[in-house]
Structure 1
Amino acid sequence: MHLSYCTNVHPAEDLDGIIGQLDTYALPIRRRLGSDVLGLGLWLAAPAASALAGDPTSRRKLRRELDVRGLEVVTLNGFPYEAFQAPVVKHAVYHPDWTERERLDYTLDCARVLADLMPDTATYGSVSSLPLAWRTPWDSERAAAATRHLDDLARGLDRIAGETGRTIKVGFEPEPGCLVENTTQAAELLAKVDTRWLGVCLDLAHLACAWEKPAEALDRLRRAGIPVVKTQVSAALQADDPLAAEEVLRSYAEKRFLHQTRSAEGGSADDLDEALDLRLPGPWRIHYHVPLHAEPEAPLTSTVPVIREALYELLTAPGERCEHFDVETYTWGVLPESQRPKDEAGLADGIAAELAFARDLMAVNR
């Protein structure tokens, strides 16, 4: 099993910036944890991925920089294309989608880079990606384009394996508001993909927001023959009585990221401020990745109980198991002021605490 933290929380988008963030964050986090090796779920913006994919010397340089710091990479986050820490992201994170050639090229670039970065001991590498597209617009022409690109993706991953001897798998990440929002839709819309190379990236905050029960969701994927190639260990925000918690909830409504909100009663909104204005009946789960180890401001809670259930199912299931677990809290910079890290050292402390929390959860369930 490989546990890592996702570097999409950091804004660096070129090779020098990426190497710089290793010293600013990754190395201090590893030392705080007292670990010989720290896993990174590396995020590469599309221009950096393209440059690295086309330059073996740069890939070797990055691998050396990782090795000398005791860092390993078995998974890349290939969901955000670029500018993920821009002042406003919102719907832009879903573009380009799988109807567009740029998404295929970017994902194959990530796979080529990962083949040279991953340690020799890793069984496979993984790249997570968006769940095809935002739900609208969608029609038969766009569906056909996405199917062509997924077929090309599988062929490209097969070719990379033949050239490098390394297996790289891509996991599509169900997310609220997207074409694939839950495991029911994943089982339907990914039914014909080549599962030697393609599967699901299961984000546990998204699973919670869909109000899915982990055991049922994983059984559904198993019966459909769709592997979980990567798990994102993330917690969503929960409001049992959102009207009573309105003032606190409004402190989480912010302009950078989309915070899709789902009610247990079936109501939905594409952002938190919209849900507040609609006054959806509660309880709510909100697509807002909150730190695993720290409770949000009362009366809000997090979906850590869903993480516990899901990890138990993932780590005790018979047959082939997911090996990659990535802590993906990318929202540290937009948390309410009282919970936001004050400086770089504070962010490193927070990420280290999350990783320790996740490590303990996984140890209990193994």
Structure 2
Amino acid sequence: MRVYLDNAATTPLDKEVFEVMAPYMLEHYGNPSSIHGHGREVRAAIEKARRTVANLLNTSPAEIFFTSGGTEADNAAIVCSVRTLGLKHIITTRLEHHAVLHTVQMLEKRGEVQVSYLRHDERGVLDLDHLKELLAQNSQTLVTIMHANNEIGTLNDVEAIGDICKSFHAIFHSDTVQTMGHFKHDLQKLHTNFIVGSAHKFHGPKGVGFLYSDASVKIQPLIQGGAQERNMRGGTENVYGIIGLAKALEIAYRDMEEHRLHIQSLKDRMIHKLRDGLEGVSFNGMSAVADKSLYTVLSVSLPPSSMTEMLLFNLDINKISVSGGSACSSGANAGSHVLEALGVDPDRANVRFSFSKLNTPEEIDYAAEVLINMYKKIPA
């Protein structure tokens, strides 16, 4: 059996999505910036996709801009809001994805902003009273806090954070890459200026994403070179990627409750099997708490063992694909800045299992059995 449990890194492309993309790979090849018929039909398809995304998020199509993915969207929101709006202070956390952390640190290194980091506990739960204190001390502030952590699954209360930011007139950006397509985002109720999506996290194609940019906050583009995306992103659009993104998000919203129940049952099954079969196993962050974590992610901290350094390799030999933290690193502990910030014991191997609608109970049973047997056969 071959088992893929690294869906937080990327998901398989949905067949329905490929079917709507294919004609724009082979038949509808016009440049959407061209004014002739070939170009106009492609432009119309892009605008239809934009309306689809906007309708699902309950916002205006004029506030949706397509990008190359979540990283570009995060960079655009952070860099362009700082430079366009003259912001001098950023509040973030040490648990953010590197698409956010490295961008913030770059701006700080260049002397463009000062950065404050929110306090959090050992499970990654943020101190929102600290957020209020920091905002009270600083004007012209950008707050950038993710919706759900990509490694440990801990959910942040973005509604409460948005309300706090609004009350202090701060700009709020949330990296919603991991929750887009898994939670519904109503932008008429959520007080945020920027959120982002990446299609390959919800069974769409790689290399395409989007930025929601609140129309009341005008920012300059990150990428220059053309008038595409309403002068917000130069460069010819990834047409079939955009078509696929919209379809993938449409499917995700259509089937969300069914898939949530299925995936949560798989996650619960894995938790129970590991707790029953492995003495000393624990779970990082809030990932084992159903109503406090992203239901697609389970971060497992395994007992110290002589096999720690080779754990992911041994799982791969058994045809089980998982991550040791985030997809951007390697090794058992994966050098994870998130686990380090939480103070997780570096002698313990940490594995991130991440699930999708395509996984089965049989796959969960197999992966758990392989992992448990590894620890039973190899002495500590």
Q: TM-score range by the shorter chain?
A: under 0.3
Q: What's the TM-score, normalizing by structure 2? A: 0.26
Q: Which has the higher contact order (CA 8 A, sep 6+)?
A: 2
Q: What's the TM-score, normalizing by structure 1? A: 0.27
